[in-house]
Amino acid sequence: MADFRLPTDNIVRPDKDRFFNEENPFEAMMQRLDRAAKLLDLEPGIYKVLRSAEKEITVSIPVMMDNGEVEVFTGIRVLHNTSRGPAKGGIRFDMNVTLDEVKALAAWMTWKCAVVNIPFGGAKGGVICDPLKMSVGELERVTRRYTSGIIQTLGPDSDVPAPDVNTNERVMAWLMDTYSMHVGHTVNAVTTGKPVEMGGSLGRREATGRGVMITTVQALEHLKMEVKGATVAVQGFGNVGSIGAQLLQQAGCKVVAVSDRTGGWHNPKGIDVDDAIAYVKKNKTLEGYGKGEAVSNAQLLELEVDVLVPAALENVITTKNAKNIKAKVICEGANGPTTAAADEMLDEKGIFVIPDILANAGGVTVSYFEWVQNRGGYYWTEQVVNDRLRDIMVNSFREVLKLSMQHKVNMRTAAYMVAISRVATVHRLRGIYA
């Protein structure tokens, strides 16, 4: 890691006079990049490289729908930085996908891979569509046409996608098959998050939630708070939130509130997470669960708990509600759940925030393990996967914490400093090709 130096004012944002939108994810990422860059005394030339995406690809996706009509969807893939290795990042299917969102998420992936020191760069992709209104056949045709549209950038040595919002193992299977058909042979390392039968890694589905649990326990121990009995509220009960809640409960914490898009439930005596997971498996959502007092997602964020895990959407903690947050620890299971403008307010309240690029890096870490296993053709046991994940998450947390204490900055700024320093160091060593 490069030496850290004192702040200077040699970083000038080309767009610094633009109106700032608190909920614009790209602006939030840039604000945090700026702060870390100044603390690192980052050279203006490298700063310009790091603030810019290497590739921004937009493709039209004409698809024959089940009713015989043709619809044209828009697909996006952004490669932010590949200096440390192949681009890595999920693909989401959602009506709210925007270029700014994908650019921010791609940059976050760059920092996330660097903060846990795995040899990937950052990417992200998305298709603007409503998968809930589409049949399985329509989703497959969208996936395959999108894959063919971005196929020049895909590859195990160049760009390795994964599941994200509204995509899953089946979507990755279609992507892998489409790519393999184009190149003429099976290439299972072109994507991660695949079915285990196709080369997916054991432990991958639980990895992000496991990383949330590991970093939360580390934070509680650092703050000299008892893990056993620590109260936890989890917003978002999808893969990350439900597994994170389950593993935190197994670690001794008391989960007192959970929620999903339909709302949530609060029970000060504790919620049986396994029971809630079983209910959702049967009923699709937490609606009607009933084992506690009904609360809204907004109310859940403001509950008096030891640990708050926002594991659902971006921008749920803003300047409008940050002053009402009562948790002592926030572990960001989602990407970008806190706006940049809200960071200072949480700092003033003394809340210990485990930032998203560290807290939810368990998923990309085990994605890296999957890619390694695919490349080597040798597969690990789930225990080996979990042990190696724990080693990386614990070491990464401690590196960030050490820098945070050394420079008297919050954990988010320290995480960005660690990540940006690693990426910048590689750029210095590689030089500029001309």
Please report the domains of the chain, with CATH numbers, ordered by start residue. 58-191 (3.40.50.10860), 205-359 (3.40.50.720)
Residues serving a catalytic function are 124
pLDDT band at 20 (very low <50, low <70, confident <90, very high): low
Which residue, among 209, 187, 218, has the nearest Cα to 86 in the 3D structure? 187
DSSP at 133: G
pLDDT above 50 for 12: no
pLDDT above 70 for 373: yes
- How far lies 137's CA from each of 115, 151, 171, 175, 191, in Å? 39, 21, 11, 14, 21
Give DSSP secondary structure letters for 177-241.
Answer: HHHHHHHTS--GGG-SS--GGGTPPTTHHHHHHHHHHHHHHHHHHHTT--STT-EEEEE--SHHH
Mean pLDDT, residues 228-246: 97
pLDDT band at 25 (very low <50, low <70, confident <90, very high): confident
pLDDT reported for residue 11: 35
Maximum CA pair distance of the chain?
64
DSSP at 323: G
pLDDT reported for residue 6: 31
pLDDT above 80 for 386: yes
- How far lies 402's CA from each of 210, 328, 399, 408, in Å? 22, 20, 5, 10
Beta strands at 254-260 and 263-266: parallel, antiparallel or unpaired? antiparallel
pLDDT reported for residue 431: 95
Which residue, among 397, 232, 208, has the nearest Cα to 309 in the 3D structure? 232
C-alpha span between 362 and 348 (Å, rounded): 29
Burial of 426 (0-12, 13-18, 19+ CB in 10 A): middle
pLDDT reported for residue 110: 97
C-alpha span between 16 and 413 (Å, rounded): 20
For helices 382-407 and 362-376, angle between their N-to-C axes, nearest 10 degrees: 130
Give pLDDT tens digits for 245-287. Answer: 999 999 999 999 999 999 999 999 999 999 999 999 999 999 9
pLDDT above 90 for 434: no
Give pLDDT tens digits for 416-427. Answer: 999 999 999 999
The angle at the Cα of 241, spanning 235 to 245, to the nearest 5 degrees, equals 100
**Residues 53 and 26: beta-carbon distance below 8 Å:** no
pLDDT above 80 for 4: no
Burial of 388 (0-12, 13-18, 19+ CB in 10 A): middle
pLDDT reported for residue 19: 42
pLDDT above 90 for 15: no
- Cβ neighbours for 253, distance < 8 A, ≥ 6 positions apart: 216, 227, 228, 229, 230, 231, 232, 306, 307
More confident call, 299 vs 16? 299
- How far lies 252's CA from each of 153, 357, 390, 395, 433, in Å? 45, 25, 17, 22, 53
pLDDT above 80 for 338: yes
Q: Supply φ then ψ for residue 301, to 5 degrees.
A: -60, -25
pLDDT above 60 for 411: yes
- Sign for the pseudo-dihedral over CA of 14, 20, 23, 29: positive
C-alpha span between 289 and 196 (Å, rounded): 32
Percent of the chain with pLDDT over 70: 95
pLDDT reported for residue 408: 96
> Any bridge partners for residue 159, and if so which?
87, 155
**Poorest-confidence range of 5-19, 135-149, 324-338, 407-421?**
5-19
